[in-house]
Amino acid sequence: MSALAPLYPQHLAVLQRRLESALAAHGFDALAVAAGSEKFAFLDDRPYGFQINPHFVHWLPLTQAIGSWLLLRPGARPQLLYLQAEDYWHAPPATPSGYWTDHVDVEVLRTPLQLQARLRELLPARCAQIAEGDAQLDFAGTPNPEGLLAHLHFERGMKTPYELQLMRAASQRAALGHLAAKAAFEAGGAEADIHAAYLAGSDQAERELPYGNIVGLGAHGAVLHWQFQDKQAPATPTSLLIDAGASCQGYAADITRTWLHPEGRGEAARRFAALWQGMETLELALVDQVRAGTDYPAIHLDAHQRIATLLLDAGLVHGLSAEAAVAQGLSSAFFPHGIGHLLGAQVHDVAGLQIDRQGTRRERPAGHPYLRLTRRLEPGMVVTIEPGLYFIPMLLRELQAGPLTGHVDWAAVETLQPFGGIRIEDDVACRAEGAPENLTREAFGRLQA
Ligand code: GLY
Ligand code: MN
Ligand code: MN
């Protein structure tokens, strides 16, 4: 983490510049950002896991700061009003320490009332606040002004060197987890065992994960966001699809790997292995397109073209061109999600469909309702590239009942259903020039070196 110390002041300088132009453009003199409040189960006193406001994390490497506020003004250092209540039921938030404290004015408050009183003193008349509903101030600060948010969200797409460093660290952690998960799968583990191995390998508690692990053995890989973890291992393991990430100071990695069981034998396993190799090759070709100036939807459309070609080459589809397979929606039955999304302080980071600071929306291409990013790529953007090819019973039934049914080798498709599907997902940073930085592959590469 020592690499972060020199990068943090530069990061703050960039954010301060962005903030000052956003405030000026929208007629505000200051911005107050709430860390957020705790949420409780209905009729109960058990809290859900705390989710910090991503705007807060953008400025400060703090993820546990319930009730704190950050005050941002032109020409001034960020001011943190840090709620550190005395409490013997729960551990209070840690005393601020580390490289960031030299660059932020920190004031510790012991009660929410004291903190509110300080905000009353400090907030100017023309102030905005970014806060979720139950954390909002009722005495000052326009809550979540749309124009200001659009401006800030658009710019959050371009990561600073500091943010990239956090995301490299998150990828490193996730890669460790993925290697441990693969070993648990190969040793015959159930989904629950593979999940536990992932947590241990990535040195994370479940509550630290940026999203719930997706650990699908066999046919469960065909449920895109399979949310359970069976405790019983299948008698004959076929494949594993694991989509699992890691956090570093609130910044996410989002990585998927698909593995064929090493003892897989027979025609179906051979076919699945060939499809996996095809997906691996096309994924890397798509990653290489993450370059400044590239239109991200073009990568999505190219993924469809390549997946259709793979289906044709594998003999699963026949009698029409790859172009026709895409145009008629056949590729979408096997690849029914978007090629990826922006990644950062949120796994599905904000402003994916927003093409300027004013908030202009660019719609997805017709027929592609799940694409999460329609922007042109710019240096500093971090995106995922996550092509998939699945055997999803619900979508296969629709295809079978429709006019394209004669173009599919249903017998072969049936033999592949126990393998669920394939998704390969890397996190990729766009550079100013040349080839992208593949945060995921570089992290795995460091472990194998
Ligand atoms: N892990 C969710 C996604 O890949 O978008
Ligand atoms: Mn993703
Ligand atoms: Mn994912």
pLDDT along the chain (449 residues), means of 10: 89 98 98 98 96 98 97 98 95 94 98 98 98 97 98 98 98 98 98 98 97 98 98 96 98 99 95 98 99 98 99 98 98 98 98 98 98 98 99 98 98 98 99 98 94
Contact 26, 148 (CB under 8 A): yes
Q: How far is the CA of 198 from the centre of ligand 1 (A)?
A: 16
Count CB neighbours of 322 within 10 A.
20
* Residue having the nearest C-alpha atom to atom 4 of ligand 1: 254
Contacting residues for 2 by C-beta, under 8 A, at least 6 apart: none
d(CA 32, CA 39): 21
CA 119 to chain centre: 33
Contact 170, 195 (CB under 8 A): no
Helix axes 4-26, 161-186, angle to 10 degrees: 120
3 state DSSP class of 53: coil
Q: How far is the CA of 388 from the centre of ligand 1 (A)?
A: 11
3 state DSSP class of 319: coil
* Token pair in block for residue 52: 């910090």
Contacting residues for 102 by C-beta, under 8 A, at least 6 apart: none
Handedness of CA 108, 113, 115, 120 (dihedral sign): negative
Contacting residues for 259 by C-beta, under 8 A, at least 6 apart: 182, 185, 186, 239, 240, 242
pLDDT at 449: 73
Q: Of the bound ligands, which one is closest to the alpha carbon of residue 340?
A: 2
First-to-last C-alpha distance (Å) of the chain: 21
DSSP code at position 329: T
pLDDT at 38: 96
Q: How far is the CA of 425 from the centre of ligand 3 (A)?
A: 6
* Residue having the nearest C-alpha atom to atom 3 of ligand 1: 254
Count CB neighbours of 142 within 10 A.
14
Side by side, the strands of the sheet bearing 69-72 are 105-109, 79-83, 69-72, 30-34, 127-130, 142-143
DSSP code at position 40: B
Look up the pTM and report it: 0.98
Helix axes 4-26, 146-156, angle to 10 degrees: 150
Residues making up the chain, counted from first to last:
449
Pocket-testing residue among 347, 426, 427, ligand 1, by greatest number of atoms within 8 A of Cβ: 347
Q: How far is the CA of 225 from the centre of ligand 1 (A)?
A: 8
3 state DSSP class of 79: strand
Pocket-testing residue among 178, 425, 440, ligand 1, by greatest number of atoms within 8 A of Cβ: 425
* Token pair in block for residue 291: 């370059």
Q: CA gyration radius for the chain?
A: 24
- Index of the ligand 1 atom closest to the CA of residue 337: 5
Pocket-testing residue among 254, 257, 346, 349, ligand 1, by greatest number of atoms within 8 A of Cβ: 254
Which burial class, exposed, middle or buried, applies to 364 when counting CB atoms under 10 A from its CB (0-12, 13-18, 19+)? middle
3 state DSSP class of 422: strand
Cα separations (Å) of 144 from 64, 72, 135, 150? 22, 15, 12, 10
Helices (H), 288-321: 296-313
Count CB neighbours of 373 within 10 A.
27
Which burial class, exposed, middle or buried, applies to 108 when counting CB atoms under 10 A from its CB (0-12, 13-18, 19+)? middle
* Token pair in block for residue 303: 């993924």
* Token pair in block for residue 149: 């948010």
- Index of the ligand 1 atom closest to the CA of residue 386: 4
Pocket of ligand 1 (CB under 6 A): 211, 243, 254, 347, 386, 425
